[in-house]
Structure 1
Amino acid sequence: MTKLTSRAKQALETKNRIYECGVNLIGKHGFDQITVEQIASEAGVSVGTYYYYFESKFELFKEMFKRADEYFLNKIADNLESSTAPEKIVEFFEKYADFTYETEIEIVKKIYISDNKMFITENRPMQAILQSIIEKGQASGEFSKSMSSIELTNMLFLVGRGVIFDWCLRDGTINLKETMKKVIGIVTKGLN
């Protein structure tokens, strides 16, 4: 791994500070209620510096999903310990619940809205990881091939998002990970 120069480290720190301040403001006020000027001010940078790192407010929002995808690619994809495809899917969604739980619920509530089309953006790495598990399960006979791996991936994410949405509606009072495990476990039993 290459060592970052002090300038590169400083640039990364600045971008991360802008990102964190933006995420916090989105959590407090909602995406549509904040401005680039507010984010820049909160991060202690000029508006021009904000635009150096993010082309728009929406680019910062997309960064949230990019970082989630990177997390799943780097930390989850090759580290699922379960032996069967159904178990791997349950484990995948347990990790999804863990990742969500690590984010403040007020931020999650502001992200899980009908206007947010990032959840249904195609070809995201997170989707590719799940689709690969499903394809292996179909090839091994653990899952039926009556639906395509893409359809099953979309269906499972629909269910997973529903569990998270319910957790938000209940203000985080239910155990997200256990609920996700139960619900996804039931759904995967119907895939064979």
Structure 2
Amino acid sequence: MNSLTSRQKKALETREKLLKKSLDLFNEYGFEHISVEQITKACNVSKGTFYTYFPSKYDVILEKFKELDSFYSTVEKNIDPALPASEKILTLYKEQMLYLTNVVGKDLMRTVYTAAMTNQVEQVHYLISPQRKIFQILNTYIEEGVRDGEFRANLELTQIQATIQRCMRANVYDWLIHHEEFDLVVEMDRFTVVMLNGMKMTSRP
């Protein structure tokens, strides 16, 4: 593989600088209170330079958050395929909550959730995008559960998918508004178990 030219290295450095400074400003002052102009002034670059790398300030968050996709792919490969669908979902959520707690952190997640509630995000928000890797994995497990008779047949697939996704977002939101005594991993497991039990078949033929 050819090494990067000095110009390419400079471009990568500029992009990383914009990314880091944007996230720092969002965390300190709030997503809705920071403009592209403020970001570029802090980085001593032009607005045109910013838009070369990011179509909007929302895309700064999106780019950072996309790192989660590679993590979910790794988790999926390590989940025992012999587990029931509900156990696969619980395992996936446990690993996700550990990652959010220990790697992503509350500051970035608060920024993501704040951005989701502003009118500055016009496209489908990343939090609910069906293209997210975690939702694709979840949908595979849900389809398995319905096919294998673990989940109730009178529930629409889309209904189960939406409910399980909301379970995740609700717990993350609670984590963000509580102090450190709120254990995201423990609370997610408790809540998800109750929710999944309500979707399971009460009896098998």
Counterpart for residue 172 of structure 2: 164
Aligned partners of 2:192 and 2:75: how far apart in 1?
17
Structure 1 residue 42 displacement after superposition: 4.0
- Whether 2:133 is the aligned partner of 1:134: answer no
Normalization by structure 1: what TM-score?
Answer: 0.83
Task: Look up the match of 2:184.
Answer: 176
Cα offset, 1:40, TM superposition: 3.1
**Taking structure 1 as reference, are residues 38 and 92 closer, same or farther at Cα in structure 2, changes over 3 Å only?**
same
**How many Å separate the matches in 2 of 1:81 and 1:12?**
38
1:131, 1:153 within 8 Å by CA — same for their partners in 2? Answer: yes
The 5 A counterparts of 1:39-188 are: 39-43=39-43, 45-73=45-73, 75-81=74-80, 83-101=83-101, 102-113=103-114, 115=117, 117-188=125-196
Query: Partners in 1 of 2:42 and 2:192 — Cα distance?
Result: 39
Measure the CA separation in 2 of the matches of 1:106 and 1:55.
23
Q: 1:159 to 1:47 in 2, by over 3 A?
A: same
Amino acid at match of 1:26: F
Structure 1 alignment gaps of length 5 or more: none
Structure 2 counterpart SS, 1:190: helix
Q: Which segments of 5 or more consecutive residues in structure 2 lack a partner in the other structure? A: 119-124, 201-205
C-alpha deviation, 1:53, in angstroms: 0.9
Change (3 A) 1:152 1:4: farther
Pair 1:59–1:142, CA change in 2 (3 A): same
Number of aligned positions between the proteins:
189
Q: Which residue of 1 aligns with 2:37?
A: 37
